[in-house]
Copies of this chain bind each other. A is one copy, B any other.
Amino acid sequence: MADPSRKTDVFQAIADPTRRQLLSMLGEREMPVTVISGHFPMSRTAVSKHLRILADAGLVKERKVGRETRYRLEPEPLLELKRWLAYYERYWDNKLLALQRFVEGDETDGAIALVASNEDGACTAE
């Protein structure tokens, strides 16, 4: 994980469609749980658990206001995703890919990585 203070992996957190919906909903304004859960076909408690997972990943911030807890998007952890994705941008340029294959020639063995990557498959700046 990029930030060990995050209990939940960002990739894991955004894997669930309900949680992605939550993120888009909480981007514009902070909202209390009851209002949020009104938009979902599941119990308030279920939504609350999804919010906890998002909070554990640092994707959402809670703020107590009176008897309600308001949640708001915290986009910073998405930068990890952006960095991960940036690594693959190089494959979207077909010319670069063709060049790489040409340079490789017929070799089929010896897995020499052209770009360093950690055990998580992420490309980090360290």
Contact = CB atoms under 8 A, between A and B. Distances in A.
A113 interface: yes
B31 A111 contact: yes
A60 B122 CA distance: 17
Interface centre among A31, A82, A91, A121 (most CB of B within 10 A): A121
A114 to B, nearest CB: 5
A21 B9 CA distance: 15
Interface residues of A, number: 46
B15 A117 contact: no
A26 B82 CA distance: 20
- The list of the 3 closest CB pairs from A to B, nearest first, reads A15-B15, A20-B121, A24-B121
